[in-house]
A and B are shown apart, each in its own frame.
Chain A
Amino acid sequence: MRSKTNGYRLFNICNIAFIALLSLLSLYPYLNTVAVAFNDGRDSMLGGITFYPRVPTLENFSTLLRDDSIVRALFVSIAKVVSGTLIGLIVQFSAGYALTKKRLIGRNALLLYLIVPMFFSGGLIPMYLTYSELGLLNNFLVYVLPGAFAFFNVIIIRTYLYTIPDSLEESAKIDGANELTILWRVILPLSRPILATIALWTAVMHWNDWTTTLNFVTKTSLHTLQFKLMLMIKESDMIASLVQEAAQRGEADPGRVIRVTPEGIRAAQVVVTTIPIILVYPFLQKHFIKGVLIGSVKE
């Protein structure tokens, strides 16, 4: 109901202004970081950088990407996202499909078995000790296997599969298709929307994860981009050595003043680490909202 009193009009104007301000505040800090990343480091130290680079340069990025370990971390991150998402999808989709079948003997016991870990877990240290015995420490598989099963995703997939009418499966059966063919040729193509949602979801989770590296990986060759960013934020020596390298290159090339600063490199690393997310964000938003809503209906 719309009541058009003056008070309501005033509220509306304030509300719009307030939400516009909040929206701006959601974006502005990121824009500022991007501006610093593309701005000359020395110039940034004068202050006053807003949302555009005042003295544009790619120096921060070139310093960053000249470091082999960063490039390597980028490939580790990509490998983690691709393999983690692929294996996660296979495990979760097949489990979700099997769990839609009411005739499955032991279905409830299986569901119980799968749900209990949502409420009880050994905790970080028992997990660490187990991984250590399984040889997963400093092993790429620690990025892929432990997260491959996610109960929540399985339930969402199952909920979605329930909406596919049984008659489709039955008619395929009458046409002589066996169980595997039905799954591959009928169910899987129809599940594409939910698989896209889960895939994006899992991919973002894998890309953004850095605590797995912190907890279970010490080998530098397995560091991810997010973990490198953490090191740059928390350990000043790493960033200092990058600045120093840039300084040494400058000496070899007279007439060029070294203009990179730790702040500039750090901002560049933030941009490199977040850019894939920002690029897929328009697709993400729609799929994520859908996933959250499907999930919440079942809760």
Chain B
Amino acid sequence: MKELAKPLVRASPPKPPGPESKWRQIRKDKLLYLLLTPAVALVFIFSYLPMPGILVAFKDYDVFKGFWGSDWVGLRHIREVFELPMMTEAIGQTLLLSTLTLLVCFPAPILLALLLNELRMQLFKRFAQTLLYLPHFLSWISVIGIAYAFYSLYGPLNDIRLWLLGPDTERTMFLADKSFFIPNVLLLSLWKETGWSTIIFLAAIASVDPQLYEAAYMDGAGKFKQALHVTLPTILPTVMIMLIFQLGHLFQSNFELIYGLQNPYVDTEVISTIIFKQGIQQGAYALSTALGFIQGLIALLLTVGANAVSKKLTSSGIW
């Protein structure tokens, strides 16, 4: 992003061209503008055109009256978001799940990257990485399908339980038990993304100056102390940037995973599943838009806030 901002403040070319020469330049470059047209049109249609639709949150949206014909209702739907139990519960669950995900799934790849970095056998390392990256490429719904086989009544997990606890143990339906829902969300997220997320940290670790390790070694630091006092501080900017991105997504919990794991026994709702069910399935457009609006607003505030804090503390940020 930094790179984008730069040209904006750069001084204009030495001789400010008059409007005529500007037009001549544009005409000369018409091929370039032609090449940009599809992108500009697609972004307009699919990103800018829906934006005013956010105002539906402040209207009593009626399909027959349409967007402009519907009456304004002010903040009624926004208030409802904080008053209806279904909504407040979903917001609470989202916060809980997101915080846990952040605490568990964010540090995991950093640790794994540090461990991978200690491997000296290159062939084994590459082999391990190949296997660890694999789950990232499967869709969330395939991951849930795999979980269904793995967790099934006669699947490996129950087999292991029986093997450990004796053959009289009752087989458990892990996916039909609400108390396993949060652990499942965390476990599946870890399984799918931890390996892949190491890439960016591994690249950051690889860029650490080897002289720093030598100096630390001279000062008597062992491997562990080197990781703590050399590697971690050097990759901190990368960690902060990844954290800011994560915080931006904090409030839009993983819809695919949570919707996929829901079943008649596990009915935990989060913001994104409520928006889908209330909005698209039930047609409560105004209320869902209001919920989405608040979600987006918080995401933006979190990104901006995290960026500001990070800039103050570590002088690294995404802009």
Contacts and interface: CB of A to CB of B under 8 A. Distances in A.
A292 interface: yes
Instruction: Please classify how large the interface on chain A is, using the bins under 10, 10 to 19, 20 to 34, 35 or more.
Output: 35 or more
A98 B35 contact: yes
B49 A130 contact: yes
Contacts of B263: 234
Contacts of B262: 234
B127 A23 contact: yes
Contact of B54 (A26, A48, A126, A208): A126
A103 B146 CA distance: 52
B47 A121 contact: yes
B280 interface: yes
B247 to A, nearest CB: 14
A104 interface: yes
A257 interface: no
B31 interface: yes
Interface residues of B, number: 102
Contacts of B86: none
Interface in A119-172: 119-130, 134, 145-146, 148-149, 154
A91 B46 CA distance: 14
Interface stretch (A30-38, A66-74, A190-198, A248-256): A30-38
Interface in A51-110: 90-92, 94-95, 97-99, 101-105, 107-108, 110
Interface stretch (B3-11, B91-99, B178-186): B3-11
A229 B142 contact: yes
Contacts of A240: none
A117 to B, nearest CB: 4
A202 interface: no
A266 B148 contact: yes
Contact of A24 (B4, B50, B130, B131): B131
Contact of B42 (A18, A91, A111): A91
A221 interface: no
A120 B29 contact: no
Contacts of A179: 31-32
Contacts of B45: 134, 145
Given A273-B145, A298-B3, A26 B135 contact: yes
Contacts of B238: 296
A32 B49 contact: no
Contacts of A8: 222-223
Contacts of B101: none
Contacts of B119: 15-16, 19
Interface string B134-155: 1101111110111111101011
Nearest to A178: B31
A174 interface: no
Given A101-B32, A281-B137, A289 B199 contact: yes
Contacts of B256: 210-211
Contacts of A128: 279-280, 285
B159 A22 contact: no
Nearest to B133: A285
A49 B154 CA distance: 8
A25 B157 CA distance: 12
B79 interface: no
Interface string B26-63: 10010111011011101101111111111010000000
Nearest to B238: A296
B129 to A, nearest CB: 8
A120 to B, nearest CB: 7
Contacts of B276: 124, 214-215
B154 A1 contact: no
A32 B40 contact: no
B36 A111 contact: no
Contacts of A18: 115
Contacts of A20: 124, 128
Contact of A130 (B39, B43, B53, B147): B53
Given A123-B293, A125-B288, A134-B45, A274 B29 contact: no
A80 to B, nearest CB: 13
Contacts of B279: 124-125, 128
B174 interface: no
Interface string B233-252: 00000100100000000000
B22 A95 contact: no
B112 interface: yes
The 8 closest A-B pairs by CB, nearest first: A126-B53, A123-B292, A117-B47, A122-B50, A208-B139, A95-B39, A94-B35, A270-B145
11 contacts: A8-B223, A22-B128, A92-B39, A122-B53, A123-B53, A145-B46, A229-B141, A266-B148, A289-B199, A296-B200, A299-B318
